[in-house]
């Protein structure tokens, strides 16, 4: 009897602390960012992005390059990026990931598996450098994980930067009524006014608005005592 009591206590302790350990492990790594860079012959895009982001020593920088296409210019860019990290942070927490770009499926699978296997979050990806095929494969791989990530692309001349989150470009099923609500809500509008313009009951319009809000397509907020509706940036993609 005593043996079984001790056994049950040990099982409980092991189970309890294993869950606690996993939770602490998860919380610890959630503080770290996974920064992905498609790197070509020039490290300037990566360095500028890191300066904008304010990289910390605990963040992980992962450089994606084409497999079996190592070039002295690419090696130089990696070396300069490594030197920058060591100078700025005192150490270079950097991984090099070689991608078989000629094999579309294998390339996406390798990038996707790597991202999922890494515990660092949030995810940030700068796709300003390297070959177009690697950029496309990286973007598709990130989206296929189902994880939210910030994507950034800098213009070749450095004059502008496009930034978006992956959840913003995931497709949504919308009908004509949804599209009409989004169109009429491009400028902030109240529910009564939207109901009047749509010639539909407020309750019906409200159910639609709530559904669109859950998809991140419309924003609901208060302006004084009035509730306002406004199409989000993701919602504007459908108009």
Antiparallel, parallel or unpaired: β 123-126 and 149-154? parallel
- Mean pLDDT calculated for residue range 33-46: 96
Residue 83 to residue 92: CA distance in whole angstroms: 8
In sequence order, which ranges of 31-122 are alpha helices (DSSP H)?
44-53, 72-89, 104-117
Q: Would you say residue 96 has pLDDT above 60?
A: yes
CATH match for 176-236 among 2.40.30.30, 1.10.10.10, 3.40.30.10, 3.30.1490.20: 1.10.10.10
Q: Which fold has domain 26-169?
A: Rossmann fold (3.40.50)
Q: How many residues does the chain have?
A: 239
Residue of 238, 230, 218 lying closest to 175 (CA atoms): 238
pLDDT confidence of residue 69: 84
CA terminus-to-terminus distance, the chain: 71
pLDDT band at 19; cut points 50, 70, 90: very low
> What is the overall mean pLDDT for the chain?
90
pLDDT at 16: 52
Question: Would you say residue 207 has pLDDT above 90?
Answer: yes
pTM above 0.85, yes or no: no
Backbone angles phi, psi at 237, to 5 degrees: -65, -25
Band of the pLDDT at 109, cuts 50, 70, 90?
Answer: very high
Give the range among 5-9, 83-87, 178-182, 216-220 with minimum mean pLDDT.
5-9
**Domain spans, the chain:** 26-169, 176-236
Helix (H) or strand (E) holding 151: strand 149-154
**Is the omega angle on the peptide bond into residue 44 within 30 degrees of 0, that is, cis?**
no
């Amino acid at each position: 009897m005593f043996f079984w009591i001790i056994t049950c206590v040990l099982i409980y302790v092991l189970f309890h602390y294993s869950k606690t350990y996993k939770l602490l492990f998860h919380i610890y790594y959630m503080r770290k960012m996974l920064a992905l860079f498609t790197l070509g012959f020039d490290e300037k895009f990566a360095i500028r992005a890191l300066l904008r982001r304010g990289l910390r020593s605990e963040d992980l920088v992962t450089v994606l390059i084409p497999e079996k296409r190592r070039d002295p210019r690419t090696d130089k860019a990696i070396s300069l990026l490594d030197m920058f990290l060591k100078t700025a942070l005192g150490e270079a927490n950097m991984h090099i990931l070689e991608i078989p770009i000629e094999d579309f499926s294998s390339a996406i699978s390798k990038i996707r598996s790597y991202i999922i296997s890494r515990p660092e979050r949030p995810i940030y990806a700068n796709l300003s450098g390297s070959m177009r095929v690697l950029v496309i494969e990286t973007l598709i791989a990130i989206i296929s994980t189902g994880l939210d990530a910030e994507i950034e692309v800098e213009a070749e001349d450095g004059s502008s930067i496009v930034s978006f989150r992956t959840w913003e470009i995931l497709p949504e099923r919308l009908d004509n009524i949804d599209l009409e609500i989004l169109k009429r809500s491009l400028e902030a509008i109240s529910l009564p006014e939207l109901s009047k313009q749509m010639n539909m009951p407020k309750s019906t319009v409200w159910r639609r608005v709530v559904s669109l809000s859950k998809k991140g397509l419309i924003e609901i907020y208060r302006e004084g005592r009035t509730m306002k509706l406004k199409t989000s940036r993701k919602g504007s993609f459908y108009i």
